[in-house]
Amino acid sequence: MKKASERILKVIVKPGSSKSCIEGFDKNRDACIVCIKEQAKEGKANLALIKLLSKEFKTDVKIINGAKSKVKILKIASG
């Protein structure tokens, strides 16, 4: 059961980008677009995504769906 303090966020990851950043929001796909410098090999892009968003939101972030996909569903704890 989802706690009231948790948030769910859909993201589209662009691994292998020139820099790691939150690029914007895709209204058609209802998802945040996140560029990640690291390549999508051996979970490196996933770790970089979690690190970037945890720093941005100042709280814990976990991938709950899409670990091997560019489209991911994340759980963001309350800060």
Of 34, 27, 37, 68, the residue nearest 54 (C-alpha): 34
Question: Tell me, what CATH number does 54's domain have?
Answer: 3.30.1200.10
Domain count, the chain: 1
Is residue 1, in this structure, part of any structural domain at all?
no
- Reported in sequence order, the residue ranges of 1-79 that DSSP labels E, i.e. its strands, are 7-15, 21-26, 31-36, 61-65, 71-76
pLDDT tens for the chain, 79 residues long, are 555 578 999 999 999 999 999 999 999 999 999 999 999 999 999 999 999 999 999 999 999 999 999 999 999 998 6
Please indicate, yes or no, if residue 2 is contained in any of the structural domains: no
Please state the pTM of the whole predicted model: 0.90
Domain limits at 64?
A: 7-76
13 within some domain? yes
Spatial contact of 66 and 9, defined as CB atoms under 8 Å apart: no
Residue at 49 is within a domain:
yes
- What is the DSSP secondary structure assignment for residue 37, as one 8-state letter? S
Phi-psi category of residue 15: left, alpha or beta, with phi > 0 → left and psi -120 to 50 → alpha: beta
Beta strands 21-26 and 7-15: pairing type? unpaired
